[in-house]
Amino acid sequence: MKYQSQHDLIDPEVPPPETESESEGDHSAGAANDAYVIGEHGNTVQAPDAKSAAEAQPGPKPWVRPVGALLGAVFVVMTVWNLSRLLGDPAPPPAPSPFQVKQALYLGVMKIDAYRRVHGVTPGSLAEAGVLETDGYAYRRLDPTRYVVSFQGNGPRLEYDSNLAKDRFFGSPQDILSMGASK
């Protein structure tokens, strides 16, 4: 048999069948740990020592297993927490501020006044003006030119009578429609 280094396995030389292979006596005793002993037709006859290969590869550092266990526990806890939030009831919406209630009422009044300008009379219901009553609005038509509309959405209730001037009740349109302003 012929001694061949592990790094020479890319293109091993296979001796022709009629030639004698080298003797293995002088190579196997002092063979390096990363070498294979190749047989007559290129077959591996003897692998490197498994014991010396295990000595060359040290085990994981002592902190790896506790950190892995900790990360696994964090993964399980976070997954359970996220699933409980996903499958649970949604959080209730926050109560609107008085200014937000005033803004919502103003937008409803603007839709009702736009309907009155187009048709000449106040609408018979909020749906005719394009406002849904399920959105927190309440509406009463007092006569063809006068109405009372109110808004209550998870908070204080605000009511507007069309006899009052809009600027006097709501303030200037620039102030009431300032989006994102916290008041």
DSSP at 147: E
pLDDT at position 25: 46
Amino acid 170: pLDDT: 87
Q: Where does residue 136 fall: left (phi above 0), alpha (psi -120 to 50 degrees), or beta otherwise?
A: left
> What gap in Å lies between CA 49 and CA 34, rounded to an integer?
8
Please give the model's pTM, rounded to 2 decimal places. 0.51
CA dihedral 20, 21, 23, 24 (to 10 degrees): -160
For residue 170, what are the contacts with CB-CB under 8 A and spacing of at least 6?
Answer: 102, 105, 106, 109, 160, 176
Q: What is the pLDDT of residues 100-157, one digit of tens each?
A: 888 888 989 999 999 999 999 999 888 888 888 777 888 999 888 899 999 887 778 8
Where are the domains positioned within the chain? 2-56, 59-91, 98-176
